[in-house]
Amino acid sequence: GAVVSQHPSWVICKSGTSVKIECRSLDFQATTMFWYRQFPKQSLMLMATSNEGSKATYEQGVEKDKFLINHASLTLSTLTVTSAHPEDSSFYICSARDERGRGYTFGSGTRLTVV
Amino acid sequence: GDSVTQMEGPVTLSEEAFLTINCTYTATGYPSLFWYVQYPGEGLQLLLKATKADDKGSNKGFEATYRKETTSFHLEKGSVQVSDSAVYFCALRGVSGNTPLVFGKGTRLSVIA
């Protein structure tokens, strides 16, 4: 079945540094990628939607200059948390849909801790 | 907009007990409905889904029936196991285009031996 590989699975970084999270679709072309964040004991909140080759669409309240999304190819989307702060500590997870819109395949998530 | 309301946990059950996790939704038309499971430290996995009214999704002993009249998609399992301990999310996908999933807040289930 469809697989999305997300890396890293966890990362600890210092305040002010940037962190890049990658999601790769291994056996299908991910024309659309959704990026979510999840706070402890809360639900997944959609951050942005990206379509291959075009700019991401961000949800209200999500800073696009802080959370840079690149979806340059049909198999790779990246989320870069720029100038990270402790309040950015969260669980980030991607979800991909293929060109036929079949199902949602989730990555395994990235736990980011900013110290 | 579309929304999902899910019973809040945590829910603690003994092994072999009956499980129900309530989920209701608000959406226009006939959305697709999903249950996802998240085991500790892992991402989400699709547990089951239903795409039209009266459909029953089932997997690994879990079931949920799409009830349009009550806008519900309650998750049930007749006999839970310790390995079912996880967080369960109810979600919907709206009818229009390439939309993202809308999730409920999740219900943490702990099954004790």
Would the CB atoms of A44 and B103 count as touching at under 8 Å? yes
Distance CA B45, CA B38 (A): 6
Contacts of B40 (CB under 8 A, 6+ apart): B86
Q: Is the confidence at residue B7, as pLDDT, over 90?
A: no
Q: Is A8 on the interface with B (CB under 8 A)?
A: no
Task: Please give the DSSP secondary-structure letter assigned to residue A79.
Answer: E
**Is residue B7 less than 8 Å (CB to CB) from chain A?**
no
> What confidence score (pLDDT) does residue A53 get?
82
Count CB-CB contacts under 10 A for residue B11.
18
Which residue, among B37, B25, B20, has the nearest Cα to B75 in the 3D structure? B20
pLDDT tens, residue by residue, A52-89 = 888 899 999 999 999 999 998 889 999 999 999 999 99
Question: Tokens 């807040």 belong to which residue?
Answer: B105
Give A 9-68 residues with CB within 8 A of chain B. Answer: 32, 34, 41-44, 46, 49
